[in-house]
Structure formats: C-alpha cells, structure tokens
C-alpha cells in the first residue's frame, strides 16, 4: 500500500527521480541525497510501512538480504574499509522519514569523520538481570 504524502512511496513508484542502484518487486535502493559518506545509500521497501514495528517479516528479511548483497558489491566497487547498516525507529532514535528504510553507509579509514559512537550506560548486575527478565517475559 502506498501512502499519498510519503516521499519514499513516491520515489518507489517512480514519481520522484532518484539515483537508483537496485530495484526488484519489493525494494528499491537509492543513493542518499544527504550522504554521510561517499556511496551512502538507502534500501526502501516499496510497500509503505512506518518502521520496524509494522514491516512485514518477509519484507524485513528481504531488506537484510539486499543489504548484505549491496554491502559486498559496494565494498568492492568503492574500495571502502568498512560498512555501517543503520535503521532508526521513532523520532527519539533519529528517524526523520517515517517510511521504513535501512542506511547502507560505506566507511573509509582516515577519510571520514562520521564515526558512529555510542556512550555506554553503567548498570549493575541486579539492573542487568531485571532488564533481561523484563525482556524475556515480553517474549513469552
């Protein structure tokens, strides 16, 4: 299903031009218009889904298969030194386009300054066990 006011739905439908790298029945891969590195691209499902919470599981699996294939091919073609796969869910997590998509970000040793860095939080054993129990209970 297409959402009328969604830019990614319009790109997937060919209504808005893009620098397409790959396309099949389920996904399109385009170069990001605001890249964080040379070759930064996006995998976009053609069917509208807001985020990981509502994406069809088969489509999610397809996105990951395409990500693997593209990362391998792009690493060879661009001679990059590493790769980030990034997918944000919700505004707090950095999602700005509310159509599920995965970023393919080639990384270049000593050539880019956009390293993803995470700050660790300090949790004691009791807190870690309580969190594990809370998550495991939710899985039942």
The catalytic residue positions are: 101
**Residue that the structure tokens 């170069």 belong to:** 31
CA distance 109 to 30: 24
Q: Is 98 helix (H, G, I), strand (E, B) or coil?
A: coil
CA distance 88 to 102: 8
Please state whether beta strands 41-45 and 27-31 pair in parallel, antiparallel, or not at all (unpaired).
antiparallel
Tokens of 51: 């985020």
């Amino acid at each position: 299903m297409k959402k009328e006011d969604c830019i990614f739905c319009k790109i997937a439908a060919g209504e808005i031009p893009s620098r397409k790298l790959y396309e099949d029945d389920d996904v399109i891969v385009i170069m990001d218009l605001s890249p964080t590195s040379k070759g930064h691209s996006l995998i976009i499902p053609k069917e509208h889904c807001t985020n990981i919470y509502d994406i069809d599981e088969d489509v999610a699996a397809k996105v990951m298969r395409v990500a693997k294939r593209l990362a391998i091919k792009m690493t060879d073609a661009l001679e990059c030194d590493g790769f980030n796969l990034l997918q944000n869910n919700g505004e707090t997590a950095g999602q700005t386009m509310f159509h599920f998509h995965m970023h393919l970000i080639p990384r270049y040793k000593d050539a880019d300054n956009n390293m993803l860095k995470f700050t660790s939080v300090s949790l004691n054993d009791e807190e870690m066990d309580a969190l594990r129990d809370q998550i495991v209970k939710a899985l039942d």
